[in-house]
Structure 1
């Protein structure tokens, strides 16, 4: 049987490619960089994202796993992401899609209108953007929902399986 996270990992690779292209195209206008954690708030994730985080944790040494679990336990329930330590993500390579796209220009539907948004620190002097420099968040979320749905079928999740989990639930529970 194929790994149940393969589709999600393929999506991550495409999202990372998209984000890298946007960052290259807008390099001088993007202030987000390593250590920038202003957008790192406590979020919920889809079960497929939770499984990827849990797998990334399992790939760490026992000592690292314990340290990460202890940190997440101590910071669960706060406004900031419990994976943040010293303004850096403890499982950065496995961060969810929303974390990968934070700060970049996104287009999404709000009510009956489309809205363009990005980190207020980015694109300060830019007057216009090409379509290839904008993430269509509605489309990306639709694909993520489909990948999550397939994942839930593959693991034969029961009907009462959680639809969203906090980072702490993802890393500390048996789900």
Structure 2
């Protein structure tokens, strides 16, 4: 599985470096920090992200992994992320792309319909932002789609749905078709 996730892990390393650079550049204007979970909702994942989360869970000691599975099962129907306990992610180091970038300035859309968004708790003193601190979400998603397609082509997961919930990823539940 590690070989199949190599490209995804390289993408994650680059995203993390990009996010660190943005946080460093914006300093105290970014209020997101450990324990902030306002944005943590139940999300859908690409199969490569689901596989990475599942691999992170499997790498844990069995007792800890089983405790997380139980917790996720108990919170499977919540609107909040089923990995969120006491405002902290149970698999933080393996969190998906959207979780890594959430709250930071992003730009998305096409042509003249491009919009910038960020957590309303961040950048309360800023009137404008340099382009170097804004994540182009469309480009980032294109990279993620390409990495996911490569993952699917190299794995035996070709019949996997386009998106999976965290519950499906970690509890091996088959999504409805």
Measure the CA separation in 2 of the matches of 1:166 and 1:78: 12
**TM superposition shift of 1:27:** 1.1
Could you tell me which runs of 5 or more consecutive residues in structure 1 were left unpaired when the two chains were aligned. Answer: none
1:172 match: 171
1:163 lines up with 2:162 in the alignment = yes
Measure the CA separation in 2 of the matches of 1:157 and 1:28: 43
1:148 match: 148
Structure 1 residues 57-101: Cα deviation after superposition (integer angstroms, max 9, x where no partner) = 011111101100000000012110000000000000000000000
Q: Does the residue aligned with 1:26 lie in a helix, a strand or coil?
A: helix
**Deviation >2 Å, runs of 4+:** none
1:102 match: 102
Could you tell me which runs of 5 or more consecutive residues in structure 2 were left unpaired when the two chains were aligned. Answer: none
Measure the CA separation in 1 of the matches of 2:94 and 2:86: 18
Q: TM-score, normalised by structure 1?
A: 0.95
1:63 match: 63
For these two proteins, the number of residue pairs brought into alignment is 174
Q: Does the residue aligned with 2:109 lie in a helix, a strand or coil?
A: strand
Q: Does the residue aligned with 1:107 lie in a helix, a strand or coil?
A: strand
1:35 match: 35
Measure the CA separation in 2 of the matches of 1:136 and 1:26: 17
RMSD: 1.6
Measure the CA separation in 2 of the matches of 1:94 and 1:141: 18
**TM superposition shift of 1:110:** 6.5
Q: TM-score, normalised by structure 2?
A: 0.94
Measure the CA separation in 2 of the matches of 1:112 and 1:72: 41
